[in-house]
């Protein structure tokens, strides 16, 4: 046993639990913890410019690599309230992050002390646990419980609030005998998997819907093996994008109202059976439930018991960690294949592949100002196969999901349910911090970019190189498009005549992002001609490597472009030209039964 301050015990537990990186902003109420961090020198700390930014960095760090748990740290009062958005984002997407806040001394908690707020009550709805530790001796065990909860069942965030005097108190603690608690994950039984496989074998046109739970469970290889054994095509959700490579013959496209492919929606509508694994039937994926479920049988596998039946009732549900379930699905499928008891879905899979080959949206525009579709076409051409893309929300994210190619798990890092503006930059920095050798590319519209733009300074200071693609239309583009239903274009224009801008091509685009970026210590290149996009992207990659800083590629877009979306998966308004590769166009697709 050893005597130590409770703050030191917290740091030692984090070390034992595998924490090597933290993101935060020090302050008076959390300084004892920072003193312990300084003494140990075992956890690398990145100083954010905003505590919300720190919480999103922690998210990006967790999402980047299996087993990671990002840690964000702030002082008392507004630091905690600023990190609530990061906690909401994390719990919505089942991402474990640990948020640590300082707090006023215990004796002053009820006296309206400076920056004393009941953060545990505020954070409880958006965490798996939120607690203010009132007894110093409990600190190491509260941290132990936090890591156990974050990793068990459906993953999610925890907030630990530490009063100043609790951090400073001396306690007895033996770190040498400390062991992390066993992680609990529910697992499917063989009987359940056999029943689900019987239902799948009774279908004629089955699909697998692969959700983000497969990525969280590090089970993408098992998913691909199961799909290949059975010959069943896969529809990844937005959070499950990358579970199967985009160019795999059984990758059938994404389904949904916005972040979807034409062929993915058409294939979903043609199916008669869906096996959902690690997904939550999000509304942007399903659209109206009647349209989505009509004529289809559903089996739902999810780690969270209350997720099954939450959106609609499946015909069969299995509570299981995705990896545990897929291990049994693969085992059962192998046995059935060896016994000659697997039905062939080759004809159906070929029809899905035919849709995928023929049903595309046009990207090869030469317009000036640049049309956004062209940007993603050139990104596919320039960036390597293992590129990690980071995005959050808006037309930039929706277009990215429609036009980019993703080839592996954790190569699409996206804030799915919460979608806070400003998320992209700090999350990308967190991804880079997890592995500075990877090619990381952020995708943001100008409003998302401006929300937490100051975090670029953290990228410059701590040498976190990545390429940030900024598509600038000087609009809140997605909200402008949604306002069409109200016949208005109101309070969504970011454009103004910047008196400091002399370049005529930028007149009326407002903020001079290049000057801001360079003032924050980063590099920037601006593109106004689509023929120069590839060179700019390559230059940005080289510059990021040379200077070890974020490099922003600002692309000046036409101000108004409507990106394909709709209110039902069978009623998507395409707006722009269709790159239909059938010799007889869309009529040929209909005649061939590809839009059945």
Measure the CA–CA gap between 559 and 126, rounded to whole angstroms: 36
551 tagged catalytic: no
Q: Give the position of tokens 């990545």.
A: 466
CB–CB of 46/429 below 8 Å? yes
Which of 476, 494, 555, 589 does the annotation list as catalytic? 476
Which of 11, 19, 51, 549 does the annotation list as catalytic? 51
CB within 8 Å of 217: residues ≥ 6 apart? 278, 303, 321, 322, 323, 324, 326
Strand partners, 74: 101
CB–CB of 160/145 below 8 Å? no
Strand partners, 317: 300
* SS3 (DSSP) at 490: coil
Which of 479, 501, 516, 578 does the annotation list as catalytic? 479
12 tagged catalytic: no
25 tagged catalytic: yes
Q: Give me the half-sphere count of Cα atoms (radius 13 Å) on the Cβ side of residue 166.
A: 26
Which of 25, 119, 223, 393 does the annotation list as catalytic? 25
Torsion sign over Cα 394, 398, 399, 400 = positive
Measure the CA–CA gap between 535 and 364, rounded to whole angstroms: 17
476 tagged catalytic: yes
134 tagged catalytic: no
Buried/exposed code over 48-82 (b: 16+ C-beta within 10 A; e: otherwise): bbbbbbbbbbbbbbbbbeeebbbbbbbbbbebbbb
Which of 197, 223, 404, 421 does the annotation list as catalytic? 421
Peptide bond into 92 cis (omega under 30): no
Q: Where in the sequence numbering do the catalytic residues fall?
A: 25, 51, 421, 476, 479
């Amino acid at each position: 046993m050893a005597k130590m301050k409770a703050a030191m015990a917290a740091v030692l537990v984090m070390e034992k639990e595998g924490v090597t990186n933290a993101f935060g902003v020090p302050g008076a109420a959390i300084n004892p913890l920072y003193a312990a961090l300084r003494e140990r020198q075992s956890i690398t700390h990145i100083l954010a410019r905003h505590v919300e930014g720190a919480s999103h960095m922690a998210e990006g760090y967790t999402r980047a690599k299996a087993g990671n748990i990002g840690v964000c740290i702030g002082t008392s009062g507004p630091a905690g309230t600023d990190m609530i958005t990061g906690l909401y984002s994390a719990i919505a997407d089942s991402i474990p992050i640990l948020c640590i806040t300082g707090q006023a001394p215990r004796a002053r908690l009820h006296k309206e002390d400076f920056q004393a707020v009941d953060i545990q009550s505020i954070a409880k709805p958006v965490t798996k646990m939120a607690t203010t530790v009132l007894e110093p001796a409990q600190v190491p065990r509260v941290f132990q419980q936090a890591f156990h909860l974050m990793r068990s069942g459906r993953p999610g965030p925890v907030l630990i609030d530490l009063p100043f005097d609790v951090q400073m108190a001396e306690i007895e603690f033996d770190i040498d005998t400390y062991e992390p608690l066993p992680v609990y994950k529910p697992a499917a039984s063989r009987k359940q998997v056999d029943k689900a496989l019987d239902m799948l074998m009774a279908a004629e046109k089955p699909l697998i819907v692969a959700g983000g739970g497969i990525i969280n469970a590090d089970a993408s290889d098992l998913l691909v093996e199961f799909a290949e054994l059975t010959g069943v095509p896969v529809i990844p959700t937005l959070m499950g994008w990358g579970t199967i490579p985009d160019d795999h013959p059984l990758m059938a496209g994404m389904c949904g109202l916005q972040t979807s492919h034409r062929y993915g929606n058409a294939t979903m509508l043609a199916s008669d059976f869906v096996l959902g694994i690690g997904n939550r039937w999000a509304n942007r994926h399903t659209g109206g439930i009647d349209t989505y479920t009509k004529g289809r049988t559903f089996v739902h596998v999810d780690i969270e018991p209350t997720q099954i039946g939450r959106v609609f009732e499946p015909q069969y549900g299995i509570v299981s960690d995705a990896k545990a379930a897929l291990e049994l699905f693969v085992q059962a499928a192998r046995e059935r294949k060896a016994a000659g008891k697997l039905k062939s879905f080759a004809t159906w899979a070929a029809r899905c592949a035919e849709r995928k080959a023929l049903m595309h949206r046009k990207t090869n525009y030469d317009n000036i100002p640049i049309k956004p579709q062209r940007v993603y076409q050139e990104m596919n051409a320039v960036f390597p196969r293992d590129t990690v893309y980071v995005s959050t929300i808006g037309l930039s994210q929706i277009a990215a999901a429609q036009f980019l190619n993703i080839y592996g798990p954790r190569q699409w890092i996206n804030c799915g349910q919460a979608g806070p503006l400003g998320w992209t930059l700090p999350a990308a920095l967190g991804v880079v911090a997890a592995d500075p050798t990877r090619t990381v590319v952020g995708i943001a519209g100008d409003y998302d970019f401006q929300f937490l733009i100051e975090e670029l300074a953290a990228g410059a200071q701590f040498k976190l190189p990545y390429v940030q693609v900024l598509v600038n239309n000087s609009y809140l583009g997605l909200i402008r498009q949604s306002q069409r239903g109200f016949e208005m274009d109101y309070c969504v224009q970011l454009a103004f005549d910047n008196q400091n801008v002399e370049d005529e091509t930028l007149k009326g685009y407002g903020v001079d992002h290049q000057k801001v970026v360079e003032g924050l210590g980063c590099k920037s290149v601006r593109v106004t001609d689509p023929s120069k996009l590839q060179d700019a992207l390559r230059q940005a990659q080289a510059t990021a490597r040379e200077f070890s800083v974020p490099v922003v590629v600002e692309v000046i877009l036409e101000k108004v472009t409507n990106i394909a979306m709709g209110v039902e998966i069978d009623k998507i308004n395409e707006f722009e030209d269709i790159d239909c590769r059938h010799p007889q166009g869309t009529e040929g697709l209909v005649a061939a039964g590809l839009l059945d």
